[in-house]
Amino acid sequence: MKEIKIALAGNPNVGKSTLFNALTGLSQHTGNWAGKTVDNAVGTFTYKDCLCTAVDLPGTYSLVSPNADERITEAYIRSGEADIIVLVADATCLLRNLTLILQLKHLTDDIIVCVNLMDEAEKKRICIDTQLLSELLHAPVIPMAARAKDGIEELKQCIYTFKCADISTIDEKKRASTIEAQDFVAQAEEIYRQCVTNNACDPHAMDRRLDRIVTSRLLGIPIMLMLLVLIFWITIAGANYPSMLLSDLFTAIEPKLRALLFHLNATPVVEGALIDGIYKTLTWVISVMLPPMAIFFPLFTLLEDFGYLPRVAFNMDRAFQKCRSCGKQCLTMMMGFGCNACAIIGCRIIDSPRERLIAILTNSFVPCNGRFPTLIALSLIFFVSGGASGLIVGLMLSRFILLGIAMTLLVSRLLSQTILKGMPSSFTLELPPYRMPKVRDVVVHSLLDRALFVLGRAALVAAPAGLLIWILANFYIGGSSLLDYCTGFLDPFGKAIGLDGVIIMAFLLGFPANEIVVPIILMTYLSQGYLIEFESLADLKDLLICNGWTQITAVCTMLLCLFHFPCGTTCFTIYKETQSFKWTLASFLIPACCGITLCFFVYRTAAIFT
């Protein structure tokens, strides 16, 4: 069987990854470029007697760029490793794409141009003469709509034809020569003038009207906050029922596992360690984490596919620039609301190493979905009454979110003036056209690429943590468990900041996954040897009040929940991204110190007025 390697290149937001998925289906994997932390995606497909390997290159606007992603694209193309370059262009804004096409054409003749989003161009009444475009570029041009898989077969046939033609790859003479950038721009404008006809007065008029609303100084930030609160409300309301179903399912499975261990003659210690330790902790994390992530990530991705997230970065850019950090940090900060670990990986989009570190060190100041259960439960217990609890909880949660954003900006400013001094870098922010997302693909890829990936990492850390919790709660010295000794040791420190030793110990043991903080508190107060669930919020409130909790205790606990060290999964991800124990430790200590200081201030201030 013949083999051919294809490189997919193009500007950002042109549907390159959609085409990659349409070509390769499930026959793909992700990794990193050698020596880099930028993702690559490689997939395979067969056509006739040919095995094709497709490499999805990072989006780029130019072959000469300081951006890390774009440098990788340039280096890969210049290496001549690919047999064919498939350059994906956006039919709705072809002029901007033509510059890169001409740069690549100047480098090699082995180019196939895919004019994607032809369906969107038709809606905007943009007509493209693809045959004339092919003649002017001296390269095959395939019109397509990758999301609907229109043009995929034509592209495969064109690739196959290229392979059979046995055309050489990189032309050494072309690689050595240079042309000024303005010459490419002039050529692009001339080709565009000949090939593209706009039958509408302004095909992007609707986009501009929407932008005047969502990016305005008056309405931009309020709309952003309203959408954020709406996503949180849908996540909170929608996750309760599936969480209960998962919890009931795992509870029903538990007796069968105990029966199996009995049949295998397992000792009580082994049964307790496996079931009460590992199994209960692991299933708690799954039942609490999976439903919110399965809702939040698709909603977040829908906004991304619609084209709204770049507008959020535009709105927040001024605030982050004043903090001497990068406006792209806003995007990674918002990703942190779903999962801080995913957001840390997302910091790769920030070019400057200094600004990338600032984004990494401050990302855990926004609460991930693992901290929402604690925040929501304490809000319902101590600050909400009556039937309008959903609305009030949403508003309270939004206040904590605003506090987290404010702390992100403040600490970013402090870091940029101290250990990470420097001026903010500029960047080109593209506002892509608004598009209707393809809901099915968004849901599937959000669940597979994000939710299950994060859940897998959390489960990997939660299992040994469950075993540790069980050991501390079930091994006794002098009539007291090891857990009791630990909480007693931490109690004076906890009292100094409005908490107690049990709460501090719960946060420490909750390092693998934030979701297990509340059940550890319950387990310790009730002197149980395993994690338990509370039957109702009223029962939980009575238990907490009997153990000395007040509204101030609840506020300090919520503040520490908002500002404390990142979870184990996030710390592991930070080390993988920075390759530095120093910066991993800094990311652990900075939010923890901020949370402790804030709790101390709130507790002492409340003591003065009570």
Residue 91 shares a structural domain with residue 136: yes
The mean pLDDT value for 397-416 works out to: 89
End residue of a domain, out of 169, 202, 235: 202
Is there a contact between 51 and 1 (Cβ–Cβ < 8 Å)? yes
pLDDT at 498: 93
Give domain status of residue 431, yes or no.
Answer: no
pLDDT at 304: 76
The mean pLDDT value for 12-32 works out to: 71
pLDDT tens digits, one per residue of 417-427: 888 887 766 66
pLDDT at 35: 38
Give domain status of residue 213, yes or no.
Answer: no
Kindly tell me if the per-residue pLDDT of 579 is higher than 60: yes
pLDDT band at 411 (very low <50, low <70, confident <90, very high): very high
Of 317, 305, 333, 302, the residue nearest 428 (C-alpha): 317
Is there a contact between 5 and 53 (Cβ–Cβ < 8 Å)? yes
Residue 276 shares a structural domain with residue 182: no
**Residue length, the chain?**
610
Give domain status of residue 270, yes or no.
Answer: yes
Q: 56: domain CATH number?
A: 3.40.50.300
pLDDT at 1: 72
Residue 107 shares a structural domain with residue 152: yes
Of 331 and 585, more confident = 585
Residue 134 shares a structural domain with residue 262: no
Burial degree of 271 (CB within 10 A; 0-12, 13-18, 19+): middle
pLDDT at 39: 56
Mean pLDDT of the chain: 81
Burial degree of 288 (CB within 10 A; 0-12, 13-18, 19+): buried
Give domain status of residue 430, yes or no.
Answer: no
pLDDT tens digits, one per residue of 304-323: 778 787 788 788 888 888 88
Compute the distance between CA of residue 278 and CA of residue 276 in angstroms, rounded to an integer: 6
pLDDT at 311: 83
Kindly tell me if the per-residue pLDDT of 167 is higher than 50: no
Give domain status of residue 400, yes or no.
Answer: yes
pLDDT at 27: 52
Residue 114 sits in which domain range? Answer: 2-202
pLDDT at 143: 93
Of 385 and 31, more confident = 385
Residue 372 shares a structural domain with residue 509: yes
* Dihedral in degrees, nearest 10, Cα atoms 465, 470, 473, 478: -110
Give domain status of residue 224, yes or no.
Answer: yes
End residue of a domain, out of 202, 236, 265: 202
pLDDT at 414: 92
Compute the distance between CA of residue 201 and CA of residue 192 in angstroms, rounded to an integer: 17
pLDDT at 429: 65
Kindly tell me if the per-residue pLDDT of 550 is higher than 50: yes
pLDDT band at 218 (very low <50, low <70, confident <90, very high): confident
Residue 530 shares a structural domain with residue 588: yes
Residue 587 shares a structural domain with residue 502: yes
pLDDT band at 86 (very low <50, low <70, confident <90, very high): very high
- Residues in Cβ contact with 164 at an 8 Å cutoff, skipping those fewer than 6 apart: none
pLDDT tens digits, one per residue of 354-376: 888 999 999 999 888 778 777 87
pLDDT at 34: 38
Burial degree of 155 (CB within 10 A; 0-12, 13-18, 19+): buried
Q: Which of 198-212, 226-240, 361-375, 578-592 shows the highest mean pLDDT?
A: 578-592
Give domain status of residue 190, yes or no.
Answer: yes
pLDDT at 394: 66
pTM for this prediction: 0.69
pLDDT at 178: 46
Residue 229 shares a structural domain with residue 149: no
Give domain status of residue 337, yes or no.
Answer: yes
Compute the distance between CA of residue 41 and CA of residue 577 in angstroms, rounded to an integer: 18
Domain count, the chain: 2
Q: Write 196-201 long-range contacts (CB < 8 A, 24+).
A: 196/94, 196/95, 196/126, 196/127, 196/128, 196/129, 197/126, 197/127, 197/129, 198/125, 198/126, 198/127, 199/125, 199/126, 199/127, 200/124, 200/125, 200/126
pLDDT tens digits, one per residue of 494-528: 999 999 999 999 899 888 777 778 777 877 887 76
The mean pLDDT value for 143-155 works out to: 88
Residue 163 shares a structural domain with residue 288: no
What is the DSSP secondary-structure string of 427-458? -----PPP----HHHHHHHHIIIIIHHHHHHH
Residue 275 shares a structural domain with residue 418: yes
> Cβ atoms within 10 A of the Cβ of 472, count?
20
Q: Which amino acid is at 368?
A: C
Q: Which of 280-284, 474-478, 523-527 shows the highest mean pLDDT?
A: 474-478
End residue of a domain, out of 152, 176, 202: 202
What the block records as the tokens of 58 is 């990072």
The mean pLDDT value for 463-474 works out to: 82
Residue 195 shares a structural domain with residue 256: no
pLDDT at 168: 44
Residue 128 shares a structural domain with residue 244: no
pLDDT band at 324 (very low <50, low <70, confident <90, very high): confident
Kindly tell me if the per-residue pLDDT of 174 is higher than 50: no
